[in-house]
Structure 1
């Protein structure tokens, strides 16, 4: 049995969801793909996938084996590229996750530009507004907005995420413009439903003021908070990477601009520095170059 091919078949089955889809992608019959999978399981002495009539699911052994197979295939691809066989073009498939709002505003366009230079790299975008398990969800790279790093993971800072308070001109004309943090207590706020009491931490000249945010609309996704603010529902805290066009077009106006909200790091998070596939290394470098610098590109226009 060609064990490297068997590993490639196993990874494709997991990524594509069925043996048939993996066989089509690899240009082989379904029966041959099944034989490779069975051969790999026989060699390892363990079942890698639970098979039902509806779907395939990784076993515990399959979860660990998947990580190893990805590393082995990455090393093999890198060896071929470095030896000059078949050219040095990066090839492979990456699963990338981020919040829907950052993906909509910045990340998707960045991925498209990355693929223009590296057409051999397939990218599967998994957009969820929650922290995913990189191993369980088979994620190669997570772009997270957080000042904390999960134990056991590696993170590289890409940029800083600043947020502002803003509202539509119609709302401010109707309800008035806040002049001080305490004025926010009399306004309707559109909040993020995070499970914690919504509040704004506003800093000016080194002094922090904490104001409870009260309102009748909350949402667990930034795009919905953004839409509610545009519709005139109240004052919202939104990241600057998401509201640049609306501020420039006066569809949203910043509130209390002399006060700063706590910034967050935008981080590239991955499992290990060792045995990184070439496509993953290239993508991390690309995102660092695109979003990096003292000021993030979306804030340079402000």
Structure 2
């Protein structure tokens, strides 16, 4: 058995989610892929996948071994790339995850420009408003906002964002700008129900302050809540990137800047500090450059 090819087959099956798709990627036949996987599992003495007639999924042992195989093949790829005259051009498949709206506004356009520049690359982007487990879900790189709790990941800071309170100029002319966060308790606030039930924590002279605001309009997504604030319905609390286009056109204004909480970091995260494939290293540098507007 060609163990390196078996590792490649194993990784492709895990990434593609089927033996048929993996066989197509490797320019192999389905029976050959089945035999390769069976021989690999027999050599290891464990089942790597749970298989039914409809789906295939990694076992616990498979998830652990997938990580090891990726490291081994990444190390081999790096060694070969160091001897190759074409080492400057990244190639292969890269999976990237990011928060939904931030990903739509900033990450997805950056990845599009990345594949336009590096035509040998193939990228899959998953946007989700949840913490994606990179190892379990087969992701190479993630973009995270806020504090990082997973110590198994390597994180590189790429910038930061603010949590801001905004309103339209028309609303502020009618009602006046709040001078203290507690003034929000008397104001009409447009809320996003998927977020925490309180706004904050505001920095009230060094003390954190959270407020249970109220209003006559709420949404389960940020985008329509931002539009409601632009329309003059009331005040809203958002990340700065979510309202940046409207601040630039002066359709919204920030208030309570002196009480804003500390900035939240934006980080690019990945599973391994060493043995990264060249394509991953090149993408990390690319996204750091693309997100430079958040580094001020």
Q: Under TM normalisation by the shorter chain, which class is it? A: 0.7 to 0.9
CA gap 1:88/1:136 in 2 versus in 1, 3 angstroms: same
Trace 1:21-170 onto structure 2 (pairs within 5 A): 21-84=21-84, 87-169=87-169
SS of the residue 1:229 aligns to: helix
Q: CA deviation at 1:100?
A: 0.4
SS of the residue 2:265 aligns to: strand
Q: CA deviation at 1:58?
A: 0.5
- Do the aligned residues in 1 keep the contact of 2:159 with 2:295 (CA within 8 Å)? no
Deviates further, 190-199 or 31-40: 190-199
- Do the aligned residues in 2 keep the contact of 1:201 with 1:262 (CA within 8 Å)? no
How many residue pairs align between the two structures? 296
CA gap 1:23/1:234 in 2 versus in 1, 3 angstroms: same
* CA–CA distance in structure 2, aligned partners of residues 153 and 199 of structure 1: 30
Residues 1:267 and 2:261 aligned together:
no
* CA–CA distance in structure 1, aligned partners of residues 195 and 72 of structure 2: 41
- Do the aligned residues in 2 keep the contact of 1:50 with 1:58 (CA within 8 Å)? yes
- Equivalent residue for 1:214? 214
* CA–CA distance in structure 2, aligned partners of residues 39 and 250 of structure 1: 64
Q: CA deviation at 1:206?
A: 5.5
C-alpha deviations, 1:182-236, integer Å up to 9, x for none?
3211122233445744122334776765433223555554334434434544321
* CA–CA distance in structure 1, aligned partners of residues 169 and 195 of structure 2: 30
Tell me the TM-score normalized by structure 2: 0.88
* CA–CA distance in structure 2, aligned partners of residues 224 and 275 of structure 1: 43
SS of the residue 1:139 aligns to: coil
Deviates further, 3-12 or 231-240: 231-240
* CA–CA distance in structure 2, aligned partners of residues 289 and 86 of structure 1: 23
* CA–CA distance in structure 2, aligned partners of residues 92 and 282 of structure 1: 12
CA gap 1:131/1:221 in 2 versus in 1, 3 angstroms: farther
C-alpha deviations, 1:230-252, integer Å up to 9, x for none?
45443211222222221222332
Q: CA deviation at 1:178?
A: 2.6
Q: CA deviation at 1:264?
A: 0.3
* CA–CA distance in structure 2, aligned partners of residues 86 and 30 of structure 1: 32
Q: CA deviation at 1:62?
A: 0.7
Q: CA deviation at 1:120?
A: 2.2
CA gap 1:68/1:87 in 2 versus in 1, 3 angstroms: same
- Equivalent residue for 1:17? 17
* CA–CA distance in structure 2, aligned partners of residues 120 and 220 of structure 1: 39
> Could you say what the CA RMSD is over the residues aligned between the two structures, in angstroms?
2.6
Q: CA deviation at 1:106?
A: 0.9
CA gap 1:99/1:223 in 2 versus in 1, 3 angstroms: farther
Deviates further, 144-153 or 276-285: 144-153
